[in-house]
Amino acid sequence: MARAAAKVILLGEHAVVYGAPALAAALDRGARATARKAATDRLTLGERGSVGGDGSELARGLEALRASLSAPPQEVTAELEMPAGAGLGASAALGVAIARAVLESVSPALEPGEPAVRARVLEAAAAWERVFHGNPSGIDAAASECGGCIRYTRAAGPEPIDMLLPLSLAIAVAGPPASTREMVESVARLAERRPDLVGKTVAGITSLVDNARLCIEAGDLPGLGKLMDLNQMLLAGLMVSTPGIEAACDTARRAGALGAKLTGAGGGGCVIALADRDAEPILAAWRAEDLHCFAATVGGPERPA
Ligand code: PMV
């Protein structure tokens, strides 16, 4: 059984598509998969299933992943441990888990922690992601493969970040998820109409991300929260926020969150809120508004009481 983490983008989504850095952190849940050699490809994902050559995204994804690993056809069973399509990187977590499972099936002697093996998993997961998302920046697959907290750029790939303190996050589904591909395309259309606006926004987000990295390394949670709020304002300027996202962020801030923003593509999907210590008051406020939500702690050593 192979596993892989889902992720949250802490800051920098959308700008990362234009070459800016972004920060992402792996969650403690994601996807798991098993694979064994078979006469034809077969992929079972919960209730869904696909057979090699049926033209479905799942079948094309498995084929692309397998081609990247030069692996023969596989029978794969996969499960998600979190909501799909909500901006938490479910498809990338699946891609990484399936790539690990396929490698285990074809080359059981390989050491999963070896840099060359990890690079193959990342490349195979990226091939899988391209089937679902067109031209992804690659941050989802990188965060899932690396674990912990990373800084990511398209040019340099993932770089692990040392966290002085773990981050206590509250995560809510603030509305029906939108398609990542459509949200990325809507920002691209805005960039055609208003290159000045999008250029300045990307530059602004770059500086927020650089400062947020310093906050994470120094354990400055209030500083990080303020930068998340500012990132949310800039994302709203890119028209990827929604009234539901803004309302969920406001509720979280009123319940004591240090900062709150959408995570992932926006247009719906998930909001993250940074708690000072305890995410429970934020979760209680969201539950009172009937939002589906949960807590997640990412990275770092245990925080002293
Ligand atoms: O919604 P998600 O988890 O697929 O995140 C998308 C992040 C974007 O920056 C909007 C797109 C990308 O490819 O990086």
Q: What is the CATH number of the domain that holds 60?
A: 3.30.230.10
Structural domain ending residue among the three candidates 160, 191, 208: 160
Ligand 1 nearest-atom number relative to CA 14 = 9
Residue 304 lies in a domain: no
What is the Cα–Cα distance from 228 to 142, expressed in whole angstroms? 21
Which tokens belong to 284? 């209680």
Shared-domain flag, residues 182 and 289: yes
Residue 305 lies in a domain: no
Dig out the tokens for 266 from the structure.
């926006």
Among 184, 202, 272, residue to substitute to test ligand 1 (most atoms within 8 Å of Cβ):
184
**Each residue of 111-140: b (16+ CB within 10 Å) or e?**
eeeeeeebebbbbbbbbbbbbbbeebbbbb
Query: 147 and 35 in one domain?
Result: yes
Same domain, 152 and 214: no
Residue 218 belongs to domain with CATH number: 3.30.70.890
122, 176: one domain: no
pLDDT value at residue 116: 95
In a domain, 53, yes or no: yes
Same domain, 33 and 124: yes
Of the candidates 28, 41, 54, 140, the residue annotated as catalytic is 140
Domain shared by 139 and 226, yes or no? no
* Pocket test residue of 7, 8, 13, 14 for ligand 1, highest count of atoms within 8 A of CB: 13
| Domain end among 110, 137, 160 | 160
Determine, yes or no, domain membership for 149: yes
Residues 199, 95 within the same domain: no
Nearest CA to ligand 1 atom 14: 137
* Pocket flag, ligand 1, residue 267 (CB < 6 Å): no
Q: How far is the CA of 279 from the centre of ligand 1 (A)?
A: 25
**Residue 303 lies inside a defined structural domain of this protein:** no
Helix, strand, or coil (residue 271): strand
For the Cβ of 264 lying below 6 angstroms from any atom of ligand 1, the answer is yes
pLDDT range class, residue 305, cuts 50, 70, 90:
very low
148's tokens: 């912990």
Over residues 275-291, the mean pLDDT reads 97
Tokens of 76: 């794969």
The mean per-residue pLDDT over the stretch 56-66 comes to 97
The verdict on the CB of residue 175 being under 6 Å from ligand 1 is no
- What is the SS3 assignment for 259? strand
Residue 109 included in any domain? yes
Of the residues 130, 160, 190, which one is the last residue of a structural domain? Answer: 160
Task: Answer for the pair 271, 8: CB distance below 8 angstroms, yes or no.
Answer: no
Residues 10 and 156 reside in one and the same domain: yes
Say whether both 171 and 140 belong to one domain.
Answer: no
Q: Tell me if residue 140 is catalytic.
A: yes
Residues 146 and 219 both lie in one domain: no
For residue 300, what pLDDT is reported?
53
Cβ(22)–Cβ(11) under 8 Å?
yes
Residue range(s) defining the domain that contains residue 139: 2-160
The answer as to whether 89 is a domain residue is yes
Residue 201: inside a domain, yes or no?
yes
Q: What domain count does the chain have?
A: 2
pLDDT tier at 135, thresholds 50, 70, 90:
confident
Adjacent-strand bridge partners of 75: 36, 42
pLDDT at 301 over 80: no
Residues 116 and 175 placed together within one structural domain of the fold: no
Residue 246 binned pLDDT confidence (cut-offs 50, 70, 90): very high
Distance of alpha carbon 259 from alpha carbon 239, whole angstroms: 20
Instruction: Answer whether residue 108 shows pLDDT above 50.
Output: yes
Same domain for 145 and 226, yes or no, is no
Q: What are phi and psi of 249, to 5 degrees?
A: -65, -45
Kindly report the number of other CB atoms within 10 A of residue 207's CB atom. 12
Dihedral sign, Cα of residue 243, residue 245, residue 249, residue 251? positive
In short, whether 129's Cβ falls inside 6 Å of ligand 1 is no
- Picking from 160-164, 275-279, 296-300, which range would have the lowest pLDDT averaged per residue? 296-300
More confident residue, 83 or 148: 148
